Structure 1
Amino acid sequence: MGYLLDNGQVQAGSRFEALGELFDASTFRHLDALGVGPGASCWEVGAGGRSVPDGLVERVGPGGRVIATDVDTSWLGASGAVLEVRRHDVGTEPPPAEGLDLVHARLVLTHVPARDRALATMVAALRPGGWLVVEDADPALQPLLCPEDRGPAEQLANRLRRGFRTLMAGRDADLALGRTLPRRLREHGLVDVAADAFFPIAGPACTALEIATVEQIRGRLVDGGVATDDDVDRHLDNLRAGRLPDLATSPMVTAWGRRAR
C-alpha cells in the first residue's frame, strides 16, 4: 500500500524541517558521543531531507564519506564531493557500501515491513567495530497528541491522532517498534548495545509537524471515515490560532550497538 507520508507530497518538506528542528540535536548528541568525526565513512538510511546528511558531512570533513539513501531522493538534492545521494530500498536491496564506520537510520524501520532484513543489511554495511544507530518512534508508549486532555480542542486533536495511528497500522507500520530496538540490535549480533528516549512536548516545531502531517493525510482521514472536512479544518484552525500550545510527539527511542571485531 505504500508509505502513508511519502516524499512526493509538497508537505514533506515542512515535515522534514520540523523533524530536524525537533530531533537533530538529540541525534547528533548520540553520534558525537560515538566519535563520528573527520575521515569517517557513514550511511544515512532513509534520509528524507538534508539535515542529518549535512550534519554528517560537517563532521567527517573532506576526508570522509557520507552516503544518503532513500526510496525517493526528491528532497536530498545532488551529490557532492563528500556526499553521495543514491536511491535505495533498505528492505529489499543489498547495502550500497561495506566497511563503514557508521550506519544511522531515523524513523525508517517503523515503515519497512521487512524490518529484520533491513537491519541485517545495515549491519552488513559496517566494518568490525563500526556503529549502528537506529532511532524510531514508539507511538504506543504515549498515544496522545495532547497529553492534557482538557477540552474540545484537545479531544478533537487526540481523536485525529488515533485515526492517524489506525491508518499507519493499516499500512504495516509497527507502532511499538521503538521499545524493541535494543533487543533487535542484540539479535543481529551487535555488542555494547544501549538505548535511551527523547520526548519533546510543546514548541513551534511540534505544531509545525502536526500541521504538515494533517495536511498531508487529510484526504485519507476523511476517506477513511476518521474525520470530516469540518473536523480537519477546525483542528488546523486550532493549531494555527495557538489554542493547542502543548502538543507532544511520540517518544523517540535511540538504540546503538557496535559490530563485533
Structure 2
Amino acid sequence: MTGGAPGDLGGDGIRDQGGGRYGEAVFRPEQAGEGDRIDYGALAYDDITMARLRALGFVPGRRFRLVHARFVLMHLPEHDGLVARLAELVEPGGVLVLSDAVDLTSDRTPDTPYTVAMRAMWRGLKDTIGTDVSWVPSYPRVLRGAGLEAVAAEIHVPPLTPGSPLSRFWADTWERSRAAMLATGLVDDAAVDEAIRYLDSDACAALSAGMLTVWGRKPEGDGALA
C-alpha cells in the first residue's frame, strides 16, 4: 500500500495510517534479513493454509470464487467494515477465508522469558503501528454478521522448537521491534536478549501465537459481485 497523507485512502480503498508503507516504522524492508524473517513466518503456516484452501474447493484462476487474506486485517482498523467489504467481493457460493494471529499469552500464563517478550511485542506493535489481535477470536461472529453461511474456524499452533522457522521468525521480529518493545516499559534489552536465547534452548516450553483461520460461504442467489 503506497503512502500519502495520514488518513488518506490507498489505491485499494484501505485507509493509510501514516506516510510510507504500512509497518515500515518498525519493520524496515531494506534492513538486512527482513526478507528471511517473512519467509520464516510463511514456512510455519503455508502448508496448513494451502491444505485448508484446497479442502474448501479453491481452484487457481477461478476469480472471486475465493477471497483470502492472511495476517492482514490484524494490522488495520475498522475490522467489521473491512470484512463486510471483502465479503462483497465473493461470488454467490464462493468462500471468504481470513487468517490472523491469536495471542495465547494471557494474564494467567506463567511468566517466562518468552511470554514477557510476547506481551511487550503486542503492546509495542499496537502503540506504534496499530496491530491489534485482541478481536481476532470474534472472527466467526463477524463473518456471520457479514451475511456469510456455514461459518467455521480453526486454530493452528506450530511448535516452538530450537531453530524452527517459527522460533527464528519470533526472534527476528523481536530484534526489529526492539525499540517499540522497550518503549512499553515491560522489558529492557536484557529481557529481550534472554527471550531470544530462551527460544533457541531446550528449556523453551511455550505456546506460540496461533493462526486462527475462519471461513464462510456466500449464499447462492445473493446478487452479483459488488
Q: TM-score, normalised by structure 2?
A: 0.74
1:235/1:9 CA distance change after superposition, 3 Å: farther
1:259 aligns with 2:218: yes
Among 26, 37, 54, the alignment partner of 1:15 is: 37
Among 236, 242, 251, the alignment partner of 2:196 is: 236
1:189/1:254 CA distance change after superposition, 3 Å: same
Among 66, 80, 93, the alignment partner of 1:116 is: 80
Deviation at 1:239, TM superposition (A): 3.7
Task: Give 5+ residue unaligned stretches, structure 1.
Answer: 42-99
Equivalent pair of 1:160/1:227 in contact (CA under 8 Å):
yes
Deviation at 1:111, TM superposition (A): 1.2
Separation (CA, whole Å) in 1 of partners of 2:77 and 2:198: 35
Report Cα offsets for 1:38-67 as digits up to 9, x if no partner. 5322xxxxxxxxxxxxxxxxxxxxxxxxxx
Which residue number corresponds to residue 53 of structure 2? Answer: 31
Deviation at 1:7, TM superposition (A): 5.8
Q: Give the number of aligned pairs.
A: 193
Equivalent pair of 1:136/1:178 in contact (CA under 8 Å):
yes
Which residue number corresponds to residue 152 of structure 2? Answer: 194
Equivalent pair of 1:206/1:247 in contact (CA under 8 Å):
no
Which residue number corresponds to residue 167 of structure 1? Answer: 124
1:143 aligns with 2:143: no
1:127 aligns with 2:67: no
Report Cα offsets for 1:196-243 as digits up to 9, x if no partner. 111122231221111111111112222333322233333334444x34
Deviation at 1:26, TM superposition (A): 1.2
Separation (CA, whole Å) in 2 of partners of 1:117 and 1:12: 31
Equivalent pair of 2:182/2:189 in contact (CA under 8 Å):
yes
1:38/1:237 CA distance change after superposition, 3 Å: closer
Separation (CA, whole Å) in 1 of partners of 2:69 and 2:204: 29
Deviation at 1:247, TM superposition (A): 4.3
1:107/1:39 CA distance change after superposition, 3 Å: closer
Separation (CA, whole Å) in 1 of partners of 2:176 and 2:149: 39
Q: CA RMSD in A?
A: 2.4
Task: Give 5+ residue unaligned stretches, structure 2.
Answer: 1-16, 221-226
Identity %: 27
Equivalent pair of 1:178/1:252 in contact (CA under 8 Å):
no
Deviation at 1:245, TM superposition (A): 4.2
Which residue number corresponds to residue 248 of structure 1? Answer: 207
Q: TM-score, normalised by structure 1?
A: 0.65
Q: Secondary structure at the match of 1:128?
A: coil
Deviation at 1:27, TM superposition (A): 0.6
Counting only pairs closer than 5 Å after superposition, residues 57-72 of structure 1 correspond to structure 2 as none
Which residue number corresponds to residue 92 of structure 1? Answer: none
Separation (CA, whole Å) in 2 of partners of 1:29 and 1:156: 33
Report Cα offsets for 1:93-151 as digits up to 9, x if no partner. xxxxxxx1111111111111121221122112222211100011221xx117xx7x5xx
Report Cα offsets for 1:162-211 as digits up to 9, x if no partner. 21122234354333323211111110011121111111222312211111
Which residue number corresponds to residue 211 of structure 1? Answer: 171
Counting only pairs closer than 5 Å after superposition, residues 69-84 of structure 1 correspond to structure 2 as none
